[in-house]
Structure 1
Amino acid sequence: MPEVSGTTVQAKVAVPVITRLRVGPAGSQIMAVLDDESFDLVVMGSHGRTGLRLALLGSIAEKTARHAPCLVMIARDRTS
């Protein structure tokens, strides 16, 4: 399904969209791809957890933004 989503975005926006499907812990897999390849921007979604929930569960998007070698844009759900 990621290829369909990438194609949909690419059809509406004049920028290349690259999707990857990897198996394993999300945070380490994302960082592995970022270390192996060169990207200008990574766009990620986030649940928008704050406070204790963020401290207990962590945030892959937040950790990626801190450690990525490129820009990271985090889109949060307005309803959370």
Structure 2
Amino acid sequence: MPSTILAAFDDSPQATAALRHALSTYDDASIRVLYVNDPRQWAGSDGIDGIFSAEKAFERSQEAANEIIAAATEIAAEYDVEITTAIEVGTVAETIITYAEDHDIDHVVLGSHGRRGFRRFLLGSVAQRVVRRSPGSVTVIRERTPTAE
């Protein structure tokens, strides 16, 4: 039975490199791409007349999430690979781990850090938590996006 690979994707250079790694390395596997829409990132959204609107912030974040997933689909098309995509709302590391558990993921591939403000300098606190708690093996990609093959 082919394995199921989860590529956590946020459109950062590291996540793009991780997705490209998964697509080029696991050619006989089922590839799932997950974007986590983290509510903690919505707080900076401007609202109507300067007033924060959770509903508007969520709508904007979902639009951005759909664009990010579309980018992942375009990258997969470069490799002629069909992927399964998902957008989940939650904190990033915990959502990746829960998704991996709930979907019988055999292997997780993710970037060493994504684009999460100052947290990106902590050698990917998200990556560290996923490595420690993932139900399966994890590959962490550190390099920048390679060119398409």
TM-score tier after normalising by the smaller chain length: 0.5 to 0.7
Number of positions where the alignment pairs a residue of Structure 1 with one of Structure 2: 72
The alignment partner of 2:83 has SS state of coil
Query: In the alignment, what sits opposite 1:5?
Result: 71
Distance (whole Å) between structure 1 residues aligned to residue 68 and residue 104 of structure 2: 19
After alignment, is 60-69 or 13-22 more displaced? 13-22
Q: Which of structure 1's runs of 4+ aligned residues deviate more than 4 A?
A: none
- 1:2 deviates by 3.2
Distance (whole Å) between structure 2 residues aligned to residue 16 and residue 73 of structure 1: 21
| CA-based RMSD | 2.8
Larger RCO: 1 or 2 (CA < 8 Å, sep 6+): 2
- 1:74 deviates by 1.5
- 1:14 deviates by 5.2
Q: Give TM-score, length-normalised by structure 1.
A: 0.62
Query: In the alignment, what sits opposite 2:91?
Result: 25
Query: Given that residues 47 and 77 in structure 1 are in contact (C-alpha distance below 8 angstroms), is that contact kept between their aligned partners in structure 2?
Result: no
Query: In the alignment, what sits opposite 2:130?
Result: 64
Query: In the alignment, what sits opposite 2:108?
Result: 42
Q: Give TM-score, length-normalised by structure 2.
A: 0.38
Structure 2 gap ranges (5+): 1-66, 115-120, 145-149
> Would you tell me which structure has more strand in proportion to its own residues?
2
Structure 1 gap ranges (5+): none
Distance (whole Å) between structure 1 residues aligned to residue 89 and residue 79 of structure 2: 28
- 1:46 deviates by 2.2
Residues 28 and 38 from structure 1, CA distance in 2 versus in 1: closer, same or farther, beyond 3 angstroms? same
Distance (whole Å) between structure 2 residues aligned to residue 70 and residue 10 of structure 1: 23
Give 2:74's aligned amino acid: T
Query: In the alignment, what sits opposite 2:7?
Result: none
